[in-house]
Amino acid sequence: MNQKPSFLKRNGTLSVLSEVKQNFKIMKTKMNIWVVAIIALFAVSCSVVKPGTQAMKWRPFGKGLQTQTIYNDGVVWHMPWNGVVRYSV
């Protein structure tokens, strides 16, 4: 019933530094996963409209093709589940 805290070794000396190092490695790994996920989200959420084409947003869960705004050359930002339909001009 008398359990020692996890930061104590068997011989009773403190190993706080090793616990901190281990927690830092775990935190660093989680941070790297979040950074990769955010970069992937940004990469999926943009489309490039090349010169000579125009584009409109496609919202499959909303009102469908959004014809009010026509996008010319450049980057079009959208949610990952939406798309962009390109037309030659």
Q: What is the pLDDT along the chain (89 residues), one digit of tens a residue?
A: 566 565 555 555 556 777 888 888 999 999 999 999 999 999 899 999 999 999 999 999 999 999 999 999 999 999 999 999 999 98
CA pair distance 67, 54, nearest whole angstrom = 11
CA pair distance 2, 50, nearest whole angstrom = 70
pLDDT for res 22? 85
Identify whether the C-beta of residue 55 lies closer than 8 Å to the C-beta of residue 35.
no
pLDDT for res 85? 95
